[in-house]
Amino acid sequence: MCRKSICQSFIAFLQQSKFVQILENISLKAYNTFGIDVKAAHFAEARSLEELTALLSDARWKAMPVMFLGGGSNVLFTRDFAGLLIKNSIKGIHPIAEDDHYVFLKAYSGEIWHELVLHAIEQNLGGIENLSLIPGTVGAAPMQNIGAYGVELKGVFYCLEALNLQTLHVEIFEAEQCQFGYRESFFKKEGKGKYFILSVTLKLSKHPKFNTTYGAIQTTLDELGEKELSIRAISRAVVHIRNSKLPNPAVIGNAGSFFKNPEVSAEEYIALKNEFPNIPGYYLEDGKVKVPAGWMIEQCGWKGKRIGNTGSHKDQALVLVNYGDAQGDEIYALALEIQKSVQEKFDITISPEVNVI
């Protein structure tokens, strides 16, 4: 057999066996936006459902923990990971249906979220422009019902496909089954660790309604001289606001908001307002009030404070940063200190939005 045909047979063998390369003892520094230098004992990249199921069916990994990683933008590693870490690189974006008003756009979970936003803007499809520049992948979006500048994913969500990690069958979830809440979903509660989100289908509008309820959007549109309202203009405004307030993880390690904004009852809020007249609060449909954790953290004196290699960001106290070679447990220790002082000053518990591993 000539060398070329040996090569071809080998490639055919790899394709048939859905061979996925396993790397051992690999640094995860480039795979998490905090830039924490921990190691994964085993690391693989899945580029298709077939590669993923081949990996999950392999007896070698049955006895050890398996973890999935998208953009690594919502995770804080405090130690090495002793199992198999699977990087999701399953990609593709395509419309699956449309009517006079909507296009149903399906995106695979390994796509970068902002790439999907840009794709929608290119096609003049409205609904996710306010969610521009949110770091992370499409798969992470329903997991925590991403939200920003007056819009949440649940408003444009149509359905998703998820691989059941027990049966290795793909199941379809509609919005109701996903149990979306503020930075919450079924996949962070009962479904935690049981599913791998494979694709997300969004219902995007051909005749978008613009959402400029979040005050700074209109001001920024004016500042940027955007005279005509369009999804592209809103996206530009959101990108501008984010860039001016939130540190770029490529420059300074961070995972966006470290804590969720806590919700309190209306009575508790009135009591807080009596004691702290300037405390902001947003009334929710269920009568509760969302209180910005960033404001409380700032009032506790943490904003812009640096402790060793970590700190609370100077422009947004809710964002904890890695100034250089911070260890994950150093950042976590700071988070606990901040949590404690908010508890002491306001009698409110703030919980991490970021997954601490």
Active site amino acids? 183, 257, 353
**From the CB of 338, what's the least distance to ligand EPU, in Å?**
12
Q: Which of 220, 257, 322, 327 binds ligand EPU (CB under 6 A)?
A: 257
Q: Which of 316, 322, 327, 339 binds ligand EPU (CB under 6 A)?
A: 316
Residue with the closest Cβ to ligand EPU?
A: 256
Contact flag: residue 149 with ligand EPU (CB under 6 A) = yes
**From the CB of 311, what's the least distance to ligand EPU, in Å?**
12
Binding mask 209-248 for ligand EPU (x = CB under 6 A): -------------------------------------x--
Give start and end residues of each alpha helix (H) in the chain. Answer: 3-17, 49-57, 113-122, 140-143, 175-178, 215-223, 231-245, 266-275, 293-299, 328-346
- Smaller CB separation from ligand EPU, 196 or 295: 295
Q: Residues near 118 by Cβ (< 8 Å), separated by ≥ 6?
A: none
Q: Which of 33, 109, 261, 310 binds ligand EPU (CB under 6 A)?
A: 261
Q: Which of 22, 29, 93, 292 binds ligand EPU (CB under 6 A)?
A: 292
| Residue 294: closest CA among 308, 280, 284, 275 | 280
253: tokens are 């390690």
CB atoms within 10 A of CB 294: 24
Q: How far is CA 288 from CA 185, 268, 269, 282, in A?
A: 19, 9, 9, 8
Contact flag: residue 203 with ligand EPU (CB under 6 A) = no
Q: Which of 105, 260, 332, 338 binds ligand EPU (CB under 6 A)?
A: 260
Stretch that binds ligand EPU, among 23-31, 155-163, 218-226, 316-324 (CB under 6 A): 316-324
CA distance 166 to 163: 9
Contact flag: residue 262 with ligand EPU (CB under 6 A) = no
Contact flag: residue 295 with ligand EPU (CB under 6 A) = yes
Q: How far is CA 194 from CA 46, 154, 162, 166, 179, in A?
A: 18, 21, 10, 7, 15
> Is the distance from CB of 55 to CB of 95 less than 8 angstroms?
no
Q: Which residues bind ligand EPU (CB under 6 A)?
A: 148-149, 246, 256-257, 260-261, 280, 292, 294-295, 298, 303, 316-318, 353
